[in-house]
């Protein structure tokens, strides 16, 4: 889970940001601060991965907190959520390392886009010991296939309900590897249909496919990449 601190002096706006955040899987609201002093104290005693930060606060500018994070080399990122739209403040925030900048008022879709993009980057940098060029491009250049778009369409011939059923059975399987036949049996779906869905899951990096040789013809085996499960939210709700 990504631990989040909301720094916003307006309680209603802070509550709205909290409600928005609760709609997106993978985030935990660690605390809410209504001024820079309280926010600084929270950062000193709690683990915070991401700050949702306003600029206009009663005691000091939110940019002061962003500068504090950088000066103390905290492993904390920030997304600015503010009515401050003058170019100097935007440039200063980006100079201090803000990963995104949302100008009030904004739609939930833009909020979700910022948080999902951050989550994808967070997973790349926090769930691997080494990184290849493809993963780095995804994190730094936002190169990602359709699975990460806010809305995604399934390939022709695939349905959400069948994909949901297959993913649920894959997700609940206690085996480290499984075959098409095994999923077809527990999901009560034909092997031909299951094969199409498993192939799709391989294409969007939810499953890892390998070919094993034994007695008879070769068998495809699959491993579930649980760290990428959130990517499926563009297609279905994961259970």
pLDDT of 96-132, one tens digit each?
989 999 998 888 888 998 998 898 888 777 766 676 7
Evaluate if residue 166 carries a pLDDT over 60. Answer: yes
What average pLDDT does the segment 146-156 reach?
58
pLDDT at residue number 235:
75
Round to whole Å and give the CA distance between 134 and 137: 5
Fold designation for 2-141:
Rossmann fold (3.40.50)
Greater confidence (205 vs 2) lies with 2
φ/ψ of 155, rounded to 5, equals -60, 155
What average pLDDT does the segment 160-189 reach?
85
DSSP secondary structure string for all residues of 22-82? HTSTTEEEEEEESSHHHHHHHHHHS--SEEEE-S--SSS-HHHHHHHHHHTT-S-EEEEEE
Alpha helix locations (H) across the chain? 11-22, 36-45, 62-71, 87-95, 108-126, 133-141, 160-172, 180-187, 191-203
Structural contact between residues 6 and 17, judged by C-beta atoms closer than 8 angstroms = yes
Count CA atoms closer than 13 A to 41's CA, side-chain side: 6
pLDDT at residue number 128:
65
pLDDT at residue number 142:
60
Flag whether the pTM goes above 0.75: no
Ranges for all domains in the chain classified under CATH 3.40.50.2300: 2-141
What average pLDDT does the segment 13-33 reach?
92
Fold designation for 148-234:
Arc Repressor Mutant, subunit A (1.10.10)
Round to whole Å and give the CA distance between 168 and 199: 16
Ranges for all domains in the chain classified under CATH 1.10.10.10: 148-234
Round to whole Å and give the CA distance between 204 and 235: 11
Burial class from Cβ neighbours inside 10 Å (0-12, 13-18, 19+) for residue 109 reads exposed
Evaluate if residue 146 carries a pLDDT over 60. Answer: no
């Amino acid at each position: 889970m990504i631990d989040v601190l909301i720094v916003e002096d307006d309680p209603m706006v802070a509550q709205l940001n909290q409600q928005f955040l609760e709609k997106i899987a993978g985030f935990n609201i660690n605390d809410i601060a209504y001024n820079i002093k309280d926010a600084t104290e929270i950062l000193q005693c709690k683990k915070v991965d991401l700050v949702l930060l306003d600029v206009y606060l009663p005691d000091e500018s939110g940019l002061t907190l962003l500068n504090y994070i950088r000066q103390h080399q905290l492993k904390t990122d920030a997304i600015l959520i503010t009515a401050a739209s003058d170019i100097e403040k935007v440039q200063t925030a980006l100079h201090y390392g803000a990963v995104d900048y949302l100008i009030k008022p904004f739609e939930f879709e833009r909020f979700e886009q910022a948080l999902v993009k951050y989550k994808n980057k967070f997973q790349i940098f926090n769930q691997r010991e080494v990184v290849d060029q493809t993963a780095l491009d995804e994190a730094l250049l936002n190169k990602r296939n359709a699975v990460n778009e806010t809305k995604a369409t399934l390939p022709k011939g695939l349905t959400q309900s069948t994909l949901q059923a297959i993913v649920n059975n894959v997700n609940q399987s206690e085996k480290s590897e499984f075959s098409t036949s095994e999923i077809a049996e527990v999901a009560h779906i034909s092997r031909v249909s299951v094969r199409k869905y498993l192939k799709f899951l391989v294409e969007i990096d939810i499953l890892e496919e390998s070919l094993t040789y034994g007695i008879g013809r070769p068998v495809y085996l699959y491993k579930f990449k649980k760290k990428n499960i959130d990517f499926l939210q563009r297609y279905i709700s994961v259970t």
